[in-house]
Amino acid sequence: MALVSIGVAGASGYAGQELIRLAARHPFIRVTTAMASGSTDGARTLPALTGVWDGQITPLSLDQLAAETQAVFMTLPDSVAAEVGPALVARGVRVFDIGGTFRLHDRTLRHQWYPTTPDLEIPVVYGLTEHYRRELVEARLVACPGCYPTAALLALRPLIDANLIDGDVIIDAKSGISGAGKKPSERTHFSECHGNVAAYGVLGHRHGAEIEQELRQTVTFTPHLVPLDRGLLATSYVRVRPDVDDTAIAATFASAYASSPFVRVRGDALPEIKHVVHTNFCDIGWKYDDASRRLVLVSCLDNLVKGAAGQALQNLNVAFGWDETAGLS
Amino acid sequence: MALVSIGVAGASGYAGQELIRLAARHPFIRVTTAMASGSTDGARTLPALTGVWDGQITPLSLDQLAAETQAVFMTLPDSVAAEVGPALVARGVRVFDIGGTFRLHDRTLRHQWYPTTPDLEIPVVYGLTEHYRRELVEARLVACPGCYPTAALLALRPLIDANLIDGDVIIDAKSGISGAGKKPSERTHFSECHGNVAAYGVLGHRHGAEIEQELRQTVTFTPHLVPLDRGLLATSYVRVRPDVDDTAIAATFASAYASSPFVRVRGDALPEIKHVVHTNFCDIGWKYDDASRRLVLVSCLDNLVKGAAGQALQNLNVAFGWDETAGLS
Amino acid sequence: MALVSIGVAGASGYAGQELIRLAARHPFIRVTTAMASGSTDGARTLPALTGVWDGQITPLSLDQLAAETQAVFMTLPDSVAAEVGPALVARGVRVFDIGGTFRLHDRTLRHQWYPTTPDLEIPVVYGLTEHYRRELVEARLVACPGCYPTAALLALRPLIDANLIDGDVIIDAKSGISGAGKKPSERTHFSECHGNVAAYGVLGHRHGAEIEQELRQTVTFTPHLVPLDRGLLATSYVRVRPDVDDTAIAATFASAYASSPFVRVRGDALPEIKHVVHTNFCDIGWKYDDASRRLVLVSCLDNLVKGAAGQALQNLNVAFGWDETAGLS
Amino acid sequence: MALVSIGVAGASGYAGQELIRLAARHPFIRVTTAMASGSTDGARTLPALTGVWDGQITPLSLDQLAAETQAVFMTLPDSVAAEVGPALVARGVRVFDIGGTFRLHDRTLRHQWYPTTPDLEIPVVYGLTEHYRRELVEARLVACPGCYPTAALLALRPLIDANLIDGDVIIDAKSGISGAGKKPSERTHFSECHGNVAAYGVLGHRHGAEIEQELRQTVTFTPHLVPLDRGLLATSYVRVRPDVDDTAIAATFASAYASSPFVRVRGDALPEIKHVVHTNFCDIGWKYDDASRRLVLVSCLDNLVKGAAGQALQNLNVAFGWDETAGLS
């Protein structure tokens, strides 16, 4: 079988490099084209990838991407992705966007959180693999979920779908610093992060809107930066309906993820970030208090793998009809 | 003024050493007696404290403590504290317990969480300084609050006292590893903690009972270990009553802590652990959403200072009628 | 081709688990037998490996290992390895020992540093893959190098072999905490390691003897623990002979590692731990000062991969005549 | 006694803030004037210091500094310090420079490493307190040592002064990231530092020239960044003269630092960063091998305290004739 030619647009960021690292091991694809997020930087190599992928990162070029690739992974600034994505689709390339540009379906919300995104003529599939496999098969433009929404939704969506939850949903999430990207800033300075925990975007983070879209209800979402590099853990607080018990909760998860190789349902053995870093797994566990009907869910993943590059590749696998785990196990 | 002679029972642990470090700078006291938590270990010095406090840690001896000191700080195993504390009080020594043994007033709860604690004849003051100054003046036995309760209560107690809150209280807390003590274990092994976040004691941590006692209502409390040494941040989720607005919230905090030198009310400039480590400050901030009446509070402190040794010293200052900040600023 | 059946003796430690993780991806082998380091622990699974390797860790049994496997990786306590290793070889199993038991050839030194190791009738191959490929082909018992020696020797051995060095060799090494093993201790307690750097085993670490054996000269070797989990960086200080210049140094490394896929010769782009963790690469760089003839070499690797499990698998690949990179790229 | 009015020029950096924190506790001084490192930034407060020091940081103004202060601590960019320092001295203000601008006495070396420093008419005292107390009393312009030189020199200078050393001096140093300053960069980005160790400035760091000046001999100096915030440990390798033994080494250190409250001579109990952070101590230990006459010295300090702000204050204490430990114990 001929290898499918892949492009990475935004190859110098953390998600882009993780994607190249994973793609280098994938049996059915080949990264032919890796580009920076802008058109002016010169070509350069990635020292950490010597011997793994020895190509060069070149300036961003739409024409070259369209000419050389069958599918493109994008991790671009919003306004750039907003242009490049639809243009590539128009030229027959399948696009898997790791950024947020195309995630929100509602026009008003999209204008609020991603003002540069145009109104699209083409359909967008929200790439939470485990819940949109069918839609992915025909997808031309896939909006891969954010890292926080992936962890939160994989834990909460089955409960919402099964109508087990009653009342407020609170999501308290803790993320490693690589989630804030590669650009140096005071926020990501080692001396500011080391020994520190900080909440940010409280009651106003765009991943909140994304989670609400997919849960079809309002949530309170608070992200925190914790002093580690990779990994994200979400603690979700809900109350279940009166007639729900522990068995029903366990059965809901078991059934939701029976055929999902990358979701590990842990029950009351609560997952930890340590178990999932450098893998495409999302682990989900919970504790339930019968008396108060309060349910505390813990879900975690590697923000650069299942929360970004890994899930994008998983989506590619489904979209191209390959084994969902190809290149990821 | 003659210096007050102080004993530290449990001087080899992290809180004990922090106490000695702070006490060495205190203008009115002198650590005359520092003891291990058991009676069999030999005498030894603390290398990190050379030149700061050059005494020796000796085996635990009730007689010696009673003979040599006017006040004792205890950080002992529960069952040992349960014996030593009342015995010292009976012999005229004022006791400031940093452990949990005497914190719970309710007999049933105390038996559940601290089974070795006897029923006491003597009154115990819960040493959350800012809310019990009056009681501290006469106190013979002070149960200093746990690190998690201190952070949570300083943020929530004023709202409860002012009757601003309606419905569930959820507290999601993140603590550095020194909170788990000095004894090596798999849980505190560097390689297990580094790069990791883990929830523990979910829906069953004894600090939850302590918080409920002081808030006089049930709460959902989830502690997490995050990979840093010192510091603790609590994110609390509540809904305020219909007639409450942002101004009322701010006024409540301003009034509650107007005369409290160690509580810094930050408003919507959310506090971070970085700002409070190695200090006795507890910083409190919040974000409020008018539409949903959801209020998210963030409070943080150094678990070994305001969450342990510092608050104990602050209680001593109040109990002995000194400036509350003596030795702490 | 039928898969070769592999045993792991000492599967609960960090190196053992890394080995299982790597072996699960290896195209030619199958871990049939994973055992604890003792014979009394019951069977258990490894939660982090769910979905990667779903076998059980069972008590150590020589008979079972001999019956079920063609090759065994050992990470056992010295005295246990000293018994198990030769016994397995005697029963026809090829043994790759990740511990130190069999590394020292000199009887006196071996008695000093590994007093439980018996005098062996069978030959032992020192498994520094890049320098002993020929010997590995026939090897029955391979003593894989320590993590420190691997980094130091890959940088220094080519210079010694080419006779470029004159005078003292000083090796200052910095290792992540996983190198100290999985057993909780004060040394590996998070609160003791976080924010700390400590030298240990100064002028008396057994890896020094191992390095001296392979360099055939005395060295000064100082290991340090630094607050990270995985990774090791060695800074080596030597003086080169009068007639040696920068070109000769570069040529020596280029020639030594021309056919070595896991050694990346970096020249004056000094390597960093970040570039090698979770890979089997050892990166080597240097700076040279013509005037003083001082040469500073920097080499680094992941102590659990190239410094332990990865190199052991690389040795297996060579010993079984497979592509050296099988399962490792 | 009236408090001495102090200025801090460069108050927003890490050393500047540490200085303000320490000065706030000092019994004889008051920070009247804290300025940014440039003249254009507006006034602002330091949230972390609320309640400790509640002044404002204002734009840099030479006139204001000269008018309001008796002594100024400078942590300014080289070219700014080169102008401000001498100008303040000319107007009668005593200057304690924490930067490197005035450290090198040799004109050629100074031009090489600090090209903007002018040739000075006024004498500069190198502020390694323990070795220049006499000179500090009259000093108008004090060049406080760099963090690396402080650790290296306190360990090596007594041996050099006593003529115990023979041959090469190699200094391998490991520093926390705060040593690289507050400016965000790829080098100080959390995700680049976490889990990483990197050598830098190998065979070409200006602190090497500073060490050579004070040891009056060439050295090989290699700094490394390690993933912690504060603290620095230097491992130094020397060979002692034939007639020197362990007793002579110990006696040399004991005599050199008998009256130095901030140097703790540890002998073969090797110091660790953990013991010195947030203090003004420099701890020194060593291991000696009789047979080879190799001596390995380990010295460590907090780069922001003894390596910067603390030592500057210590110098102020000596210069003003106060107790050397005022505000520092």
- In the sheet where A71-74 sits, what is the strand order? A57-58, A29-35, A4-9, A71-74, A94-97, A141-143, A125-126
pLDDT at C41 over 80: no
Write out the two tokens for C320.
């079984």
Amino acid, single-letter form, for residue C283: D
Question: Within a 13 Å sphere around the CA of A205, how many CA atoms are in the beta-carbon half?
Answer: 22
Tell me the pLDDT tens digit for each residue of C219-240: 999 999 999 999 999 999 999 9
Residues of A in contact with D192 (CB under 8 A): 190
Task: Test B294 with A192 for CB contact under 8 angstroms.
Answer: no
| Tens-digit pLDDT profile for residues A66-93 | 999 999 999 999 999 999 999 999 999 9
Nearest chain C Cα to B190, which residue? C190
Quick: pLDDT tens for D181-222: 999 999 999 999 999 999 999 999 999 999 999 999 999 999
Q: Across the interface, which of D176, D189, D195 has its CB nearest the CB of A184?
A: D189
B110-141 b/e (C-beta count within 10 Å ≥ 16 → b) = beebbeebeeeeeebbbbbbbbbbebbeebbb
Is D138 in a helix, a strand, or coil? helix
Residue A178's closest chain D neighbor by CA? D191
CA distances from D163 to C22, D160, D216, D289 (A): 54, 5, 12, 18
Q: Does A231 touch chain B (CB under 8 A)?
A: yes
CA D288 to chain centre: 27
Residues A246, A141: Cα–Cα separation, whole Å: 39
Which chain B residues touch C195 with a CB distance below 8 Å? Answer: 229
Which tokens hold the place of A14? 């953390």
Q: Give the amino acid at A71.
A: A
pTM for the model stands at 0.97
d(CA B152, CA B169): 10
- CATH class of the domain at A147-303: alpha beta
∠ CA A241-A245-A251, nearest 5°, is 110
Q: What is the 3-state secondary structure (H, E, C) of chain A?
A: CCCEEEEEECCCCHHHHHHHHHHCCCCCEEEEEEECCCCCCCCECCHHHCCCCCCCEECCCHHHHHHHCCEEEECCCHHHHHHHHHHHHHCCCEEEECCCCCCCCCHHHHHHHCCCCCCCCCCCEECCHHHCHHHHHHCCEEECCCHHHHHHHHHHHHHHHCCCECCCCEEEEEECHHHHCCCCCCCCEHHHHCCCCEECCCCCCHHHHHHHHHHCCCCEEEEEECCCCCCEEEEEEEEECCCCCHHHHHHHHHHHCCCCCCEEEEECCCCCHHHCCCCCCEEEEEEEECCCCEEEEEEEECCCHHHHHHHHHHHHHHHCCCCCCCCCC
Q: What is the pLDDT of residue A141?
A: 98
Which pLDDT band holds residue C185 (cuts at 50, 70, 90)? very high
C-chain CB neighbours of D174 within 8 Å are: 174, 197, 224, 226
Strand-pairing partners, residue A267, are A285
CA-CA distance, C78 to C102, in Å (whole number)? 9
Q: Which helix (H) or strand (E) holds B58?
A: strand B57-58
Alpha-carbon distance D198 to C276, whole Å? Answer: 12
The letter for the amino acid at B48 is A
Query: What's the pLDDT at D312?
Result: 98
Active-site residue, A144 included: no
Work out the pLDDT band at C30, boundaries 50, 70, 90: very high
Which architecture, in CATH terms, is C4-145+307-319?
Answer: 3-Layer(aba) Sandwich (3.40)
| Euclidean distance between CA atoms D138 and A236, whole angstroms | 64
CB atoms D189 and A178 under 8 Å: no
Phi, psi at residue B277, to the nearest 5°?
A: -60, 145
For C116-136, the pLDDT digits (tens) are 999 988 899 999 999 999 999
Within a 13 Å sphere around the CA of C82, how many CA atoms are in the beta-carbon half? 13
In the set A144, A147, A282, A300, the catalytic residue is A147
Compute the nearest-CA separation of C221 from chain D (Å). Answer: 10
Q: Are strands D198-199 and D220-225 parallel, antiparallel or unpaired?
A: antiparallel
DSSP B66: H
Task: Give, as one character, the DSSP assignment of residue C291.
Answer: T
One-letter amino acid identity for B49? L
Asked if D274 and C231 come within 8 Å (Cβ–Cβ), the reply is no
Q: Note the pLDDT of residue D113.
A: 96
Largest alpha-carbon pair distance within chain D? 63
Q: List beta partners, residue A268.
A: none
- Burial of C134: CB neighbours in 10 Å, binned 0-12, 13-18, 19+: exposed
Q: Which of A211, A10, A210, A215 is nearest to A103 (CA)?
A: A210
* Residue A148 backbone phi and psi in degrees, to 5: -60, -50
**Per-residue confidence at D120, pLDDT binned at 50, 70, 90?**
confident
Query: How large a percentage of chain A has pLDDT more than 70?
Result: 100
Handedness of CA A245, A251, A254, A255 (dihedral sign): negative
pLDDT over 90 (residue D39): no
Provide the token pair at A282. Answer: 């999302």
- Cα distances from B194 to residues A85, B109, C198, in angstroms, run 38, 35, 17
Q: For C190, which residue in chain B has the nearest alpha carbon? A: B190
* pLDDT tens, chain A, 329 aa long: 689 999 999 999 999 999 999 999 999 999 999 999 988 877 888 888 999 999 999 999 999 999 999 999 999 999 999 999 999 999 999 999 999 999 999 999 999 999 999 998 889 999 999 999 999 999 999 999 999 999 999 999 999 999 999 999 999 999 999 999 999 999 999 999 999 999 999 999 999 999 999 999 999 999 999 999 999 999 999 999 999 999 999 999 999 999 999 999 999 999 999 999 999 999 999 999 999 999 999 999 999 999 999 999 999 999 999 999 999 98
**CB spacing of A197 vs B272 below 8 angstroms:** yes
CB contact under 8 A, D50 and B264: yes
Report the top-level CATH class of D147-302: alpha beta
**Residues 6+ positions from A128 with CB-CB distance below 8 Å:** A145, A149, A150, A153, A154, A157, A214, A311
Closest chain A C-alpha to B290 CA, distance in angstroms: 11
- Please tell me the predicted confidence (pLDDT) of residue D47: 86
Point out the residue among B14, B192, B195 whose CB comes nearest to the CB of C191. B14
Residue B5 DSSP symbol: E
Inter-chain CB proximity D25 and B50 less than 8 Å: no
Residue (of B329, B175, B316, B180) closest to B262 by Cα position: B329
Assign D99 to helix, strand or coil: coil
Residue to test with chain A: of B148, B177, B192, B197, most A Cβ within 10 A: B197
B 261-280 residues with CB below 8 A of D?
Answer: 261-262, 264, 266, 269, 274-275, 278-279
Q: Of the candidates D148, D178, D172, D182, which has an alpha carbon nearest to the alpha carbon of residue D282?
A: D148
Place of tokens 């009322």: B248
When pLDDT is averaged across residues D89-95 and rounded to a whole number, the result is 97
Query: Beta partners for C7?
Result: C33, C72
C-alpha triplet B188, B192, B196: angle, nearest 5°: 105
Residue by residue, pLDDT tens for chain B (329 residues) are 689 999 999 999 999 999 999 999 999 999 999 999 988 877 888 888 999 999 999 999 999 999 999 999 999 999 999 999 999 999 999 999 999 999 999 999 999 999 999 998 889 999 999 999 999 999 999 999 999 999 999 999 999 999 999 999 999 999 999 999 999 999 999 999 999 999 999 999 999 999 999 999 999 999 999 999 999 999 999 999 999 999 999 999 999 999 999 999 999 999 999 999 999 999 999 999 999 999 999 999 999 999 999 999 999 999 999 999 999 98
Does B25 sit within 8 Å of D269, measured CB to CB? Answer: no
> Tell me: the pLDDT tens digits for A108-145?
999 999 999 999 888 999 999 999 999 999 999 999 99
Burial of C1 (0-12, 13-18, 19+ CB in 10 A): exposed
Out of A168, A239, A287, name the one closest to residue B202 (CB). Answer: A287
pLDDT at D103 over 80: yes
Q: Are the beta carbons of D229 and A188 separated by less than 8 Å?
A: no
Which regions of chain D does DSSP assign to beta strands (E)?
4-9, 29-35, 57-58, 71-74, 94-97, 125-126, 141-143, 170-175, 198-199, 220-225, 232-239, 263-267, 282-289, 294-301
Q: Where are the domains of chain B?
A: 4-145+307-319, 147-303
Residue pair C117/C110 in contact (Cβ under 8 Å)? The answer is yes
CB nearest to A51's CB, from C48, C274, C281: C281
Rounded-to-integer distance, Cα D276 and Cα D274, Å:
6
Q: Which chains touch C (3 or more CB pairs under 8 A)?
A: A, B, D
In this chain, the answer to whether the domains covering D4-145+307-319 and D147-302 adopt an identical fold is no
Please give the structure tokens belonging to residue C86.
């030769």
